A and B are shown apart, each in its own frame.
Chain A
Amino acid sequence: MSESRVRPPGIELAGVTRTYGERGPDEVRALRGIDLGIPPGTFVSVEGPSGCGKTTLLNLLALLDAPTSGEVRWDGRTVGTRSERERARLRLAGVGFIFQRFYLLPTLTARENVELPMRALRTARAERARRASELLAEVGLGGRERAYPHQLSGGEEQRVAVARALANRPGLLLADEPTGELDSTNALAILDLLERVRRDRDATLVLVTHNPAVAARARRHITMADGRITSDVAGA
């Protein structure tokens, strides 16, 4: 369970913009022209003030959203503007997304939440159960498989969310302020966990954060302001 089965794609963004709302006074230009390349297996942090477009950028990387103009490419193939159906297919197998607010399904147990992406991929039941147990054990929740989200602490919920993001062994892990709603102890634990799974699986990790201490863990630091990338530096 240590190797990544799905090789992470090399990601390229070329001239990407994203505008919300109708043209006119109400339109919000969340991204104003992003050019960015992320080679497979890197750990990138994205920082910037609130409203600068971090989540918008991450959503485009995750294929949750399509750019208004420009191209999102995986391994040279334009994927950002494909149909929602195709993007969903790529997402399911290739992307693990961790949200700030965990977003576990409240009616499912921890284990069922982790199994959800595997079910969607029609993984065999026994394999599903085995992998879910493994993943929950890996994030330190071996004994809590049958707990519902409301029975878990925030830190535990986020660990379940990490396990769920890893379920289909994606090459690309995207985390949008995964520690934003956690205290510093839990935040550090999640961060350690993400770093470890990234390293074990040789996955790409893009992590959005407000927190410089968190960002410091990354190998490459992108800073944004007002819909643009203002700095992009490598180094620990």
Chain B
Amino acid sequence: MTLFGRRGSLRHARLQLVLAVAAVGVAVALPVVLVSVGGGVSAHELHDLENAGYQIVVSAPGLHGIADSHSLTERMLSISGVSAASPVLSAGIDTFGASGGPTAALAEGVIPAEFLPTLGPSENGLFPSPLPLGDPMDLVHFANGTYQGHATLDVIVSSPFAAAQNLETGQTLYLGPSANRSQAVGYTITGIFGVPPNLLGPIGAFAVVLPLSDLQVITGYGPAATAVVPDASDTIEVAVAGSVSADPSALSSVEAQIQRLVPYYGVSSLNQEATELQQASGVLTGFYLALSSVGLTIGLLFLALVLLRRVEADRRSIGIRRALGVPGRQIAGGIVAEGLFLAALGGVAGVVAGYLIVEAIATFATSTVQEAAQLAIFVPATLAAIVGGVLALSLLASAIATRAALRIEITEALR
């Protein structure tokens, strides 16, 4: 078997080779795209997790959220090693300017002094510090032992929102739970914050941040004066001192103390979440590869077919070699080498094609697809593993062709 014989329908033979390489290439391109984009997105999420300003998250299953957030926060802060505990309530609200509206925005209710220490490095500089939201600990509501009323009526707005709505510091923005303007209450804009270049994050660019209890009142079940507001939040993000976060056993001890405070809520560390994310992404990679095996099977069947056809076309030459006594091993070696060569060409072509496809999507596609493609990472070891797998499987294709070559009856082939 020689790759480019001088005899026979040379063009035809070359076309077959090209098609075999293309089939393997297409089969390889798919897993390359899936694995690199999937891996990139996971790595990005992991990076976000690892760069968060907090290490432990308390979250409540179900709709009611974490009750008694303010007092819980106080009690968490008294645990040694905890440096900040920031309850966060996120809710969609409607906003109104001096006239017109409503405009939907994502509102985050926070305790101003606790919020900033739980921001990661990528968000840190985006907010005015300290947060200009009046009462740093959001405790005015509880001054009389009873929870009531708007306290500061201060709000800060995101820069894209401010730009779109022509909002400036000092102006009044009306916030309400519904599109009904009469339920909205006027807030003073006390600052503007930037939005991180967050590619896949769920936070919309139209966002406002206000004291937690204010948002609780807005999203409560009736007018402030009569409402029984549950002091709920979605999560409490807990930051620990540097010495604790560096020490896994200290961290899990803090985690355990928090869990004792709230046995009915979920407490997890970001480490744990990172591990889970990594596991999930591993499972996903496996799934991608399984999915790709369909294409690989077809590509390799094609390769086997082309190798078989070449054996058929080389019947006479193979017969001559075997008649001379060339061992079957050496004839098989030639076919295997050819199969490996074609598979390697296809593998490399597939990797290059996969890379170009991802680049094209990252450049020309829109929205989330494009963002995901921009996150793609090409891990040499993974790509090598894919190509290596294809090479290994090409041995199967070669084996089929070899079997055919060694079954040729010598005396028949020479007639």
Interface size class of A (residues with CB under 8 A): 20 to 34
State whether A91 touches B325 (Cβ < 8 A).
yes
Annotate A92-120 by CB proximity to B: 1 below 8 A, 0 otherwise. Answer: 11010101000111110000000011001
Residues of A close to B411: CB separation below 8 A = 59, 64-65
B86-124 at interface with A (beta carbon < 8 Å): none
User: How long is the Cα–Cα vector from A148 to B410 in the complex, in angstroms?
Assistant: 24
Check: A88 CB closer than 8 A to any chain B CB. Answer: yes
**Total number of B residues with any Cβ neighbor in A under 8 Å:** 19
State whether A103 touches B414 (Cβ < 8 A).
yes
A129 to chain B, nearest CB (A): 18
Determine which of A65, A107, A116, A150 lies in contact with B324 in the assembled complex, contact meaning CB atoms within 8 Å: A116
User: How long is the Cα–Cα vector from A148 to B334 in the complex, in angstroms?
Assistant: 21
State whether A105 touches B326 (Cβ < 8 A).
no
Annotate A138-177 by CB proximity to B: 1 below 8 A, 0 otherwise. Answer: 0000000000101000000000000010000000000000
Residues of B close to A164: CB separation below 8 A = 324
Residue of A nearest to B8 (CB): A106
Residues of A close to B6: CB separation below 8 A = 106-107, 148, 150
With A106-B5, A107-B2, A107-B6: A92-B327 Cβ-Cβ less than 8 Å: yes
Residues of B close to A89: CB separation below 8 A = 325, 327
Residues of B close to A107: CB separation below 8 A = 2, 5-7, 317
Check: A23 CB closer than 8 A to any chain B CB. Answer: no
B154-179 at interface with A (beta carbon < 8 Å): none
Check: A85 CB closer than 8 A to any chain B CB. Answer: yes
User: How long is the Cα–Cα vector from A185 to B328 in the complex, in angstroms?
Assistant: 38
B57 to chain A, nearest CB (A): 68
State whether B414 touches A99 (Cβ < 8 A).
yes
User: How long is the Cα–Cα vector from A91 to B321 in the complex, in angstroms?
Assistant: 11
User: How long is the Cα–Cα vector from A105 to B2 in the complex, in angstroms?
Assistant: 11
B123 to chain A, nearest CB (A): 67
Determine which of A64, A104, A148 lies in contact with B323 in the assembled complex, contact meaning CB atoms within 8 Å: A64
Residues of A close to B5: CB separation below 8 A = 106-107
Residues of B close to A106: CB separation below 8 A = 5-7, 317
User: How long is the Cα–Cα vector from A89 to B325 in the complex, in angstroms?
Assistant: 6
State whether A88 touches B7 (Cβ < 8 A).
no
State whether B7 touches A97 (Cβ < 8 A).
no
With A64-B411, A65-B410: A105-B322 Cβ-Cβ less than 8 Å: no
Residues of A close to B349: CB separation below 8 A = none
State whether A105 touches B317 (Cβ < 8 A).
yes
State whether A91 touches B7 (Cβ < 8 A).
no
Check: B330 CB closer than 8 A to any chain A CB. Answer: yes
**Residue from B322, B324, B411 having most chain A Cβ neighbours under 10 A:** B324
Determine which of A95, A105, A120, A150 lies in contact with B327 in the assembled complex, contact meaning CB atoms within 8 Å: A120
User: How long is the Cα–Cα vector from A92 to B320 in the complex, in angstroms?
Assistant: 12
User: How long is the Cα–Cα vector from A84 to B323 in the complex, in angstroms?
Assistant: 11
Determine which of A88, A90, A104, A148 lies in contact with B322 in the assembled complex, contact meaning CB atoms within 8 Å: A88
State whether B414 touches A92 (Cβ < 8 A).
no
User: How long is the Cα–Cα vector from A150 to B6 in the complex, in angstroms?
Assistant: 10
User: How long is the Cα–Cα vector from A148 to B6 in the complex, in angstroms?
Assistant: 10
Residues of B close to A62: CB separation below 8 A = 323
With A65-B411, A103-B414: A88-B325 Cβ-Cβ less than 8 Å: yes
Residues of B close to A65: CB separation below 8 A = 410-411
With A64-B410, A106-B5: A91-B324 Cβ-Cβ less than 8 Å: yes
A100 to chain B, nearest CB (A): 10
State whether B325 touches A93 (Cβ < 8 A).
yes
User: How long is the Cα–Cα vector from A91 to B324 in the complex, in angstroms?
Assistant: 7
Residue of B nearest to A120 (CB): B326
Residues of A close to B327: CB separation below 8 A = 85, 88-89, 92, 120
A233 to chain B, nearest CB (A): 29
B6-33 at interface with A (beta carbon < 8 Å): 6-7
User: How long is the Cα–Cα vector from A88 to B7 in the complex, in angstroms?
Assistant: 27
Residues of A close to B326: CB separation below 8 A = 88, 92, 116-117, 120
Residue of B nearest to A95 (CB): B325
State whether B317 touches A117 (Cβ < 8 A).
no
User: How long is the Cα–Cα vector from A89 to B327 in the complex, in angstroms?
Assistant: 7
State whether A97 touches B323 (Cβ < 8 A).
yes
Determine which of B2, B316, B324, B410 lies in contact with A120 in the assembled complex, contact meaning CB atoms within 8 Å: B324
Residues of A close to B7: CB separation below 8 A = 106-107
User: How long is the Cα–Cα vector from A106 to B313 in the complex, in angstroms?
Assistant: 13
Residues of B close to A103: CB separation below 8 A = 316, 320, 323, 414
Residues of A close to B317: CB separation below 8 A = 105-107
A98 to chain B, nearest CB (A): 11
State whether A85 touches B410 (Cβ < 8 A).
no
Annotate A44-86 by CB proximity to B: 1 below 8 A, 0 otherwise. Answer: 0000000000000001001011000000000000000000110
A-B contact pairs, 20 of them (CB 8 A): A88-B322, A91-B323, A92-B324, A92-B325, A92-B326, A93-B325, A95-B325, A97-B323, A103-B320, A103-B323, A103-B414, A104-B320, A105-B320, A105-B321, A107-B5, A107-B317, A116-B324, A120-B324, A120-B330, A150-B6
Not counting A103-B414, A120-B321, a sample of 17 additional A-B residue pairs whose C-beta atoms are within 8 angstroms of each other reads: A59-B411, A64-B323, A84-B328, A88-B327, A89-B327, A91-B324, A91-B325, A92-B324, A92-B325, A95-B325, A105-B320, A106-B5, A106-B6, A116-B321, A117-B324, A117-B325, A148-B6
The 5 tightest CB contacts between A and B, nearest first, are: A92-B325, A91-B325, A120-B326, A106-B7, A107-B2
Residues of B within 8 A of A (CB): 2, 5-7, 316-317, 320-328, 330, 410-411, 414
